[in-house]
């Protein structure tokens, strides 16, 4: 993934015309649109990992746009800077929620592995963490380049909220997480947001395939104690463990990247403040 640093865009004395600058926003949206159209979002490990891939793709596309218009962090206005810091803080908070949900799944997995049969129940999504709606902020857009990046950041925020809402709903076996994030999006006039939401809504209410399979195996073993049932549960728990490890790896990588970019922006504020 690309960092939003000055290395991406060297200062140029030539002024870029507005139509050239605006084409970078079109390219940004096209990269995300291409990913969404090709991705398969399902209630399983692969579907959840696609959500992380979407966020990574959107973040990279945003960094490329900043480079194309020669507008590194050191040139950002106050509102753009605050919006980006708010977005990254929200993303970090949601990733912490993902880690918490993974811990819950891991505890149930370990319980079953030790012979204490326990189905994976719906986990209540914690409503105490609620991101600020992207539509609730007063805008003071600043320069034309700032406005372009603010337009891109608005898309970035909405993609992140919907994708993380889908991941959390899958891990919690509860559609409430997605609906909470959906309510924070603030509108679906944007075609990218509308398309992603329509794709995710079709899958969000069900349990993950890996969770269903563990629960079925637990039910069977509870009814009839047999070697086949034990082996079946062991296999399903191994598949669930692969999901936990895979999503944890994705979440940790994204957390580290987002924190790194956020710290770079904060350091830049300290240097120029």
Tens digit of each residue's pLDDT (9 = 90 or more) over 145-192: 999 999 999 999 999 999 999 999 999 999 989 999 999 997 788 999
Do the Cβ atoms of 238 and 109 come closer than 8 Å?
Answer: no
Tens digits of residue pLDDT in 203-216:
987 789 999 999 99
Q: How many C-beta atoms surround the C-beta of residue 55 within 10 A? A: 24
Q: Structure pTM? A: 0.90
Place of tokens 């579907």: 47
Tens digits of residue pLDDT in 34-58:
999 999 999 999 999 999 999 999 9
For every residue of 138-176, DSSP letters joined together read PP---SHHHHHHHHHHHHHHHHHHHHHHHHHHHHHT-TH
The confidence score (pLDDT) of residue 273 equals 60
Q: Average pLDDT of 10-17? A: 54
Please state the three-class secondary structure of 164-207 as a single string.
HHHHHHHHHCCCHHHHHHHHHHCCCCCHHHHHHHHHHHCCCCCC
Residue % of the chain over a pLDDT of 70: 87
Quick one: which of 82, 59, 259 has its CA closest to 160?
59
């Amino acid at each position: 993934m690309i960092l939003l640093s000055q290395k991406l865009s060297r200062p140029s004395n030539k002024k870029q015309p507005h139509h050239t600058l605006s084409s970078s926003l079109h390219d940004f949206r096209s990269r995300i649109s291409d990913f969404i159209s090709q991705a398969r979002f399902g209630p399983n490990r692969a579907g959840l990992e696609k959500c992380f891939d979407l966020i990574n793709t959107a973040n990279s596309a945003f960094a490329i746009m900043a480079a194309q218009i020669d507008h590194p962090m050191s040139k950002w206005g106050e509102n753009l800077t605050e919006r980006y810091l708010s977005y990254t803080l929200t993303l970090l908070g949601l990733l912490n929620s993902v880690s918490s949900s993974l811990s819950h799944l891991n505890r149930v997995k370990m319980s079953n592995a030790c012979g204490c049969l326990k189905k994976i129940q719906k986990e209540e999504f914690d409503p105490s963490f609620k991101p600020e709606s992207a539509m609730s902020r007063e805008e003071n857009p600043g320069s034309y380049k700032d406005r372009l990046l603010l337009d891109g950041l608005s898309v970035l925020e909405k993609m992140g909220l919907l994708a993380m809402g889908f991941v959390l709903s899958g891990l919690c076996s509860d559609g409430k997480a997605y609906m909470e994030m959906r309510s924070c999006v603030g509108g679906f006039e944007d075609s990218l947001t509308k398309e992603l939401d329509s794709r995710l809504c079709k899958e969000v209410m069900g349990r993950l395939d890996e969770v269903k399979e563990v629960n079925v195996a637990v039910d069977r073993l509870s009814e009839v104690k047999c070697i086949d049932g034990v082996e079946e549960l062991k296999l399903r728990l191994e598949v669930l463990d692969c999901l936990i490890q895979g999503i944890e790896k994705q979440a940790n990588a994204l957390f580290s990247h987002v924190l790194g970019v956020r710290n770079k922006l904060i350091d830049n504020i300290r240097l120029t403040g």
